DNA sequence: GTCAATAATCTTGTATGCAAGAAAATTGAT
DNA sequence: ATCAATTTTCTTGCATACAAGATTATTGAC
């Protein structure tokens, strides 16, 4: 029973944040969480610290912990960073992918296709995450894969918003097909380029969606 | 006096690790550090947690905290990751660098030159870190800059070993000149390529140094 | 009724205590 | 003398306690 609280708490909170049950900006009360999980504040604090480390949580001194809320500028920058990281992964994966990797990527892609056909957005986003993660793994560079995965997760709460963008799923699937094609052909340059664009387009779509949402709320407020 | 212990501890330890006063693999005793800094174990643990997050410290459950010791594979992967990150920074910096950035990069380069001329290895490595950091900043992407800087620091303890590689300083300075030239010419592709190679060469030199050191110790052991 | 000042309350940061698991030391057997 | 098993000691993981700063509520003046 001991030595397992912190990972347990961290994973539970991470899940809550990534899945959207906890919203960006929301405050995370130490005492509340401690009670909810039946532990003292100490392991809660450690878990929060670790989440702060992976970029999901922000700890403001003497103010408490909050689910990270990225501003517009930070979002733009993060998507750009993500695009570059994915581009690297694409290039290396195209060069180094093994049989196992190939299978995993294709399998994830098929899951994406199935979800798109069923118009199941939730499932699509999960399969999408797996598709990208499979590419990270295929780079055969675990450090790179881990870093990129961390970033992916930190951005996940924001990607959820994209569920609202119309026809995003079909577009995304089409882009995936292009990426897969380049990977299978071991065309490193093309894989790099397509992955970068794939993420950048997401980012742009996302930002314009954000602008619309912001305009709407501002139209009500003042 | 309150609310400032954790940052203080974290910075002190980070400094000790980066500067090499604490060696990779070394165990970090909670009680010992608490006494040394005149605080209780609690803030020490939090500081260690945060350092674990930035990759400088590894916490083995129930075993304690250790200065991260990367194995050969992890080192190779890390240098490759670093090379790609720096390459991205180089490309973006070449495109976006402002007047201020330009000055900072040139200034750091001059410091490198002076240190090389004086054959002052310690100073050279500090100036070298600043030269690279100035390029990160010039990307105008703070997320990217922060990530790359974090990685740089995590690898710093290992770079120290390179102090022993003969003629490394002159070679490095020469490479810097090429990078600077590309940056000032706003030649993004060239800056990208040169920065990638610069880091990769470092990594390779480093790995062969490591192999030699390892062979030496193994020749004694069995 | 609104605002300011003060008091009460809450929340975090740090210290301390205790128990479980790991490391080290001691003992006993071969 | 070496090795294994057991005991002892150490160290970490978690709980609890308390104090200082932040937040909210209350009171009083205008």
Q: What is the pLDDT of residues B134-157, one digit of tens each?
A: 999 999 999 999 999 999 998 888
CB-based contact, B95 to chain A, within 8 Å:
no
pLDDT of residue B44: 94
Give nucleotides in strand C with any atom < 7 A to a protein C-beta.
11-17, 20-23
pLDDT at B219: 46
* pLDDT for residue A220 is more than 70: no
What is the pLDDT, as a whole number, of residue B102? 97
Alpha helices in chain A (DSSP H): 5-19, 30-37, 41-53, 72-96, 99-117, 121-138, 142-159, 168-184, 188-220
Our measurement of CA B38 to C1' C15, in angstroms, reads 12
Bases of chain D with protein Cβ within 7 A: 11-17, 20-23
Please state the rounded mean pLDDT for residues B189-215. 88
Task: Give the pLDDT confidence score for residue A216 in this predicted structure.
Answer: 63
Q: What is the pLDDT of residues B82-111, one digit of tens each?
A: 999 999 999 999 999 999 999 999 999 999
Put simply, the answer to whether A81 touches B147 (Cβ < 8 Å) is yes
Question: If pLDDT is split at 50, 70 and 90, which confidence band does A61 have?
Answer: confident
DSSP SS3 for A29: coil
Instruction: Give the long-range contacts of residues B102-111, CB within 8 A, separation 24 or more.
Output: B102/B138, B102/B184, B104/B134, B104/B137, B104/B138, B105/B131, B105/B134, B105/B135, B105/B138, B105/B180, B105/B183, B106/B180, B107/B134, B108/B133, B108/B134, B109/B176, B109/B177, B109/B180
Residues B48/B57, Cβ–Cβ less than 8 Å: yes
Higher pLDDT, A163 or A217: A163
Residue B213: pLDDT over 80: no
CA distance B52 to chain A (A): 8
Least Cα distance to A53 among A21, A113, A13 occurs for A13
Residues of chain A above pLDDT 70, percent? 94
Q: Count of residues for chain B?
A: 222
Is residue A221 very low, low, confident or very high in pLDDT (cuts 50, 70, 90)? very low
* Any strand C atom closer than 7 Å to A62 CB: yes
Q: How confident is the model at residue B221 (pLDDT cuts 50, 70, 90)?
A: very low
pTM for the whole thing? Answer: 0.89
The region of weakest confidence among A35-49, A162-176, B81-95 is A162-176
Mean pLDDT of chain A: 90
Q: Which residues of B touch A81 (CB under 8 A)?
A: 141, 143-144, 147
Q: Pick the residue with more confidence: B87 or B164?
A: B87
- Separation of A62 CA and D27 C1' (Å): 28
In this complex, the nucleotide whose C1' atom is nearest to the CA atom of residue A60 is C12
pLDDT digits (tens, 9 = 90+) for B11-47: 899 888 888 888 889 999 999 999 999 999 999 999 9
Q: What's the token pair of residue B122?
A: 């310690």
- Judged against a pLDDT cut of 90, whether residue B208 lies above it is answered with no
Token pair recorded at residue B9: 């501890």
pLDDT in the model for residue A33:
93
Residues 26-45 of chain A with CB under 7 A from strand D are 34, 38-43
Predicted confidence at residue A193, as pLDDT, reads 97
**Range among A129-138, A210-219, B26-35 rated most confident:** A129-138
Q: What is the pLDDT of residue A163?
A: 66
Average pLDDT, chain B: 89
pLDDT value at A131 more than 90: yes
CB count within 10 Å of CB B12 equals: 14
E strand or H helix that includes residue B64: strand B64-67
């Amino acid at each position: 029973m001991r030595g397992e609280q912190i990972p347990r708490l961290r994973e539970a909170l991470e899940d809550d944040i990534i899945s959207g049950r906890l919203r960006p900006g929301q405050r995370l009360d130490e005492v509340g969480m401690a009670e909810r999980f039946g532990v003292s504040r100490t392991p809660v604090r450690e878990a929060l610290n670790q989440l702060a480390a992976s970029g999901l949580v922000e700890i403001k001194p003497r103010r408490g912990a909050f689910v990270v809320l990225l501003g517009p500028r930070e979002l733009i920058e993060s998507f750009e960073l993500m695009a570059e990281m994915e581009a690297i992964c694409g290039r290396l994966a195209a060069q180094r992918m093994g049989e196992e990797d190939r299978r995993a990527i294709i399998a994830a892609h098929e899951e994406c296709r199935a979800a798109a056909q069923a118009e199941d957005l939730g499932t699509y986003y999960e399969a999408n995450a797996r598709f990208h993660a499979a590419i990270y793994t295929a780079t055969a560079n675990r450090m790179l894969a881990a870093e990129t995965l961390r970033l992916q997760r930190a951005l996940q709460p924001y990607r959820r918003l994209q569920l609202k963008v119309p026809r995003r799923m079909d577009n995304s699937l089409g882009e995936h097909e292009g990426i897969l094609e380049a990977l299978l052909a071991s065309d490193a340059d093309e894989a790099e380029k397509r992955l970068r664009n794939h993420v950048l387009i997401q980012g742009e779509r996302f930002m314009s969606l954000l602008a619309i949402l912001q305009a709407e709320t501002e139209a009500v407020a003042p």
